Structure formats: C-alpha cells, structure tokens
C-alpha cells in the first residue's frame, strides 16, 4: 500500500472538523442473532477481518509539498498544508472494534457514540457492537471519517467485513499517468480554456449562493448553536408504498422521499408549537459525481442540489409537486452549477487555504443551507455477519455547524430506512419527527386515493 493525497473536498472535511462538529459518517446495522453470544462473536469477526482490509489501515497525515503552479490539474493540487492517506505502521484492529454492554435501545447508544470524534492519529473509523438485551438481535454502529470515505466508499469498507459472498470481480481501474510539476505544453490551450470555464462556473455558483440566501425563512429548530450532543432515530417505510405514490403523482422515488421529509417537518414544527407558516428551509441534496467503475475508489466526488422545502404548504400532493418541479429544474441545470454545487469550489482552493480557512468555512454552513437530506446507496443483496442476517440499516450524516438536524435515506431489500441525526439539546423530541415521517407517507397514500 502506498500513500495518496487527499482530494480537495476530503481535505476540506478534514479541516472543518471540530470537537462539537465531528465529520464522520455513520451507519447503524441491526442483525438477527442466532444466540445470545452472537454479538460477541460478531465483534471477534470484525476485528479479525479488519486486518485484511487495506482501506481500514489508512491513517491521514499532514504533508508539505511544492505549491500548486498555474494550470496544473485541480483534481489533486499540490500545495503547502495538504494531507495524505498512508498505511498506519502500528495498525491494531482491536483499537477500532469495541464490544459494548447489552442495550435495550440501539438508537440511544448510537446517539451517544456519534458525539465522539474519531481519533485523528489513527485510521479514522470505528465499529461498535451493541448486543441486544432481548438476546435475539444485535446492532453495529460503523463510523467513518468523511475524509477517509464518502457514503459509497464507507459501504464498500463495511461490506468487506461481512460474511464472504460470491460477487463479480470489479473491473480494474485504468492506471493514471504520473503527473509532473509542470503541465504538458501541448495541452496548454485546453488547460487555459478549462481554467476560464472553471472560473465562470465558480462565479455562477457564488451568485447562486447569494440568491439562495434571499428571502429565506427557516425555523430555529433547524438552525441552532451547537452543544456537541447527538441523538439518533430511525424509521422504516415500505418501498411499495413509495412506488404507489410515485406512480400516481409522477416523478422519482427520491422526489417522494424528499417530499415526505418536507411534510414531516411541517407536522413536527406544528406539534412542538414552533409553527410552519411561511417556513421554507433550504435543503442540500448531495449528488455523487463518481463515474461507475472508473472513479477513484477513495475521495469524495460530490456536488449537490439546493431546494426550498415547501414546509408551509398544507397540501401533501402540492408539496410533492413543488419538490418534483424544483428537482427537475436542478437536474436540467446539472450538478456542476447552482448554489448546491458549492462543494465543487473546494477543487479551486489551495491546500493551505483549506487548512487556514477550515474553521471559517465550517461556520458558514448555516448561510448555505438549513438541513441536509442525503441518499446513501445500498446493495439489494442479503448481508450476514457470523451467519446472522442484516435486517435494518440506518445511515447517519454529520451535522455541520449551525445545523440541528440531518436526514439520510437508504433503500434496503424492499424497505426505505430514514436515519435521523440531531443535536440532542436542540432537538429533544426527535422521536416526534420520526413518527411524523411515517404519518406523512400515510397522508400521501390517502391523498392519492381520493
């Protein structure tokens, strides 16, 4: 294994982290246990298998390199203040796999564990095994730093620890030619055009961000000062019901799932007494820019769409139509422009800029969006650990500074799993919001049958 430079967005995630805003992803998997000792056995398996997964041995280390010269590729700029992934010389899986006491509430434990930042001097991941008090189930909370892995990469690393399956071998990625410090003079005209195009895109994104901040009314429940505490909750919805709504109204499954979040927020705000009148929070919808089979296996390649959630609209179908229209407009523009594409600007910031400006960028998140709603892809295959089948998977997204709530969604074996992460003090009633998600699906189904 060799070291590789962090991509610009990875470096941004590494540098905006703080003790109260850890930048790790999470996933809570629930397994059916075949014996009361299944959880302890699962912990032993994870520790034994982790040693054989190269990606889990990688730590992140600061590096100092020659400054980026004009017209070099922005994909992996060379500059002072960078960082790289490299194999940890003293990697011990037992430092990363922890077996906990039996629990009656997996989400309560997951919330407390999501509060804790990962150790930055070790490979930044953890697996927490939570045996169930009932003896018939156990859960595993995986945590991966966003600089180590995005959602897809984290999924690949976690899946590598599961029981072996007969899977087709991945297509090898073509080797990239080595990059020199100076650009090939034969490519200068194209590089100049690309640089000008990138500059135009950056200005366009900046203008879109400025416009997106005008006339916004959110809710104090969604944006608050951080306390560093965390609470999680999970909701399971039948995918067939989502398809029934989609076929009646049109649009995509993702449109329906986002509209469900908008309706649930309305119910939640009204029930807690905050009120939903005039509330239209900005939701950031991340979009993967990976190319299938050819993308770099590590490194975040993300853009995003920014939409106003129609929380103030009392009609469930009207909310869905508004979300569908907004998403169609974003898709027509593409993921490389618009306010939601602000993550792409990381490619044009020198590494030293990420290091020095990380805290400032972290504080600016509340100016860009009010809530994150992200979709994490999962395989439809049945996964097992120690012969125990995985039955539920709740993805968790990190909370940026100024945000009280993040929503992640995964579809797994015919069911939709919503994973909610909130600041525990700002959102003590996260269970009410979780219930509202299920109620909103029911309201949409009822509206479709009228």
Identify the CA nearest to 280 among candidates 209, 341, 369.
369
Are 258 and 272 a contacting pair, CB within 8 Å?
A: no
Percent of the chain with pLDDT over 90: 50
Which residues share a beta bridge with 144? 25, 125
pLDDT at residue 26 above 80? yes
* pLDDT over 80 (residue 381): no
**CB-based contact 437:418 (threshold 8 Å):** yes
Q: Which of 205-219, 288-302, 429-443 has the highest mean pLDDT?
A: 429-443
Alpha-carbon distances of 315 from 267, 277, 322, 409, 433, rounded to whole Å: 12, 13, 11, 23, 18
Q: Which residue has the higher pLDDT, 39 or 178?
A: 39
Contacts of 194 (CB under 8 A, 6+ apart): none
> pLDDT tens, 247-301?
999 999 999 999 999 999 999 999 999 888 999 998 888 876 555 444 444 555 5
**Is the pLDDT reported for residue 10 higher than 50?**
yes
**Who contacts 291 (Cβ-Cβ below 8 Å, separation ≥6)?**
none
Beta carbons of 321 and 28 less than 8 angstroms apart: no
How many other CB atoms are there within 10 angstroms of residue 214's CB atom? 6
CB 8 within 8 A of CB 354: yes
**Residue 193: what pLDDT?**
45
- pLDDT single digits (tens) 66-104: 544 443 444 444 444 578 888 999 999 999 999 999 999
Q: What is the pLDDT of residue 50?
A: 96
What φ, ψ does residue 77 adopt, rounded to 5°? -65, 145
* pLDDT, tens digit, 9 for 90 and up, residues 332-371: 877 555 544 444 344 444 444 444 444 544 455 556 788 9
Q: What is the mean pLDDT of the chain?
A: 79
pLDDT at 312 over 80: yes
- Residue 196, pLDDT above cutoff 70: no
Tokens found for residue 324: 């569908």
Model confidence at 211: pLDDT above 60: no
Could you give the C-alpha distances from 238 to 242, 410, 429, in angstroms and in order?
A: 7, 12, 24
- Tokens standing for residue 145: 């730093």
> Tokens 């919805």 belong to which residue?
237
pLDDT of residue 228: 84
Q: How confident is the model at residue 6 (pLDDT cuts 50, 70, 90)?
A: confident
């Amino acid at each position: 294994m060799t070291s590789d430079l962090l991509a610009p967005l990875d470096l941004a995630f590494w540098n905006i982290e703080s003790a109260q805003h850890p930048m790790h992803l999470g996933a809570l998997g629930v397994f059916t246990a075949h014996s009361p000792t299944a959880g302890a056995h699962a912990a032993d398996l994870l520790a034994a298998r982790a040693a054989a997964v190269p990606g889990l041995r990688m730590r992140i280390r600061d590096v100092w390199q020659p400054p980026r010269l004009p017209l070099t590729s922005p994909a992996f700029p060379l500059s002072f203040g960078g960082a790289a992934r490299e194999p940890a010389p003293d990697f011990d899986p037992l430092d990363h796999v922890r077996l906990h006491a039996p629990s009656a509430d997996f989400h309560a434990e997951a919330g407390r564990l999501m509060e804790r930042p990962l150790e930055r001097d070790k490979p930044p991941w953890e697996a927490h095994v939570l045996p169930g008090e009932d003896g018939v189930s156990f859960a595993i909370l995986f945590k991966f730093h966003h600089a180590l892995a995005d959602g897809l990469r984290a999924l690949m690393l976690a899946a590598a620890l599961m029981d072996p399956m007969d899977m087709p071998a991945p297509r090898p990625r073509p080797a990239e030619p080595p990059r020199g410090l100076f650009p090939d003079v034969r490519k200068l005209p194209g590089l100049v055009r690309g640089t000008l195009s990138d500059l135009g895109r950056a200005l366009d994104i900046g203008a879109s961000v400025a416009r997106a901040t005008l006339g916004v009314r959110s809710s104090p429940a969604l944006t608050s000062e951080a306390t560093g505490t965390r609470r999680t909750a999970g909701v399971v919805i039948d995918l067939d019901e989502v398809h029934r709504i989609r076929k009646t109204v049109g649009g995509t499954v993702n449109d329906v799932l986002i509209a469900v979040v908008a309706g649930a927020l309305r119910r939640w705000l009204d029930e807690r007494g905050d009120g939903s009148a005039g509330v239209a929070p900005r939701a950031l919808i991340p979009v993967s820019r990976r190319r299938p089979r050819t993308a770099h296996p590590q490194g975040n390649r993300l853009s995003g769409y920014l939409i106003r959630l129609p929380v103030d609209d009392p009609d469930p179908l009207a909310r869905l139509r508004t979300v569908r229209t907004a998403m169609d407009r974003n898709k027509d523009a593409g993921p490389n422009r618009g306010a939601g594409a602000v993550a792409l600007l990381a490619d044009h910031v020198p590494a030293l800029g990420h290091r020095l400006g990380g805290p400032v960028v972290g504080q600016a998140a509340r100016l860009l969006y009010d809530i994150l709603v992200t979709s994490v892809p999962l395989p439809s295959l049945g996964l097992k650990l120690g012969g125990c089948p995985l039955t539920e998977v709740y993805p968790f997204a990190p909370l940026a500074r100024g945000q009280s709530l993040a929503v992640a969604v995964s579809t797994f074996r015919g069911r939709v799993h919503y994973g909610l992460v909130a600041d525990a003090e700002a959102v003590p009633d996260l269970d009410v919001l979780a219930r509202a998600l299920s109620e909103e699906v029911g309201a949409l189904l009822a509206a479709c049958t009228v």
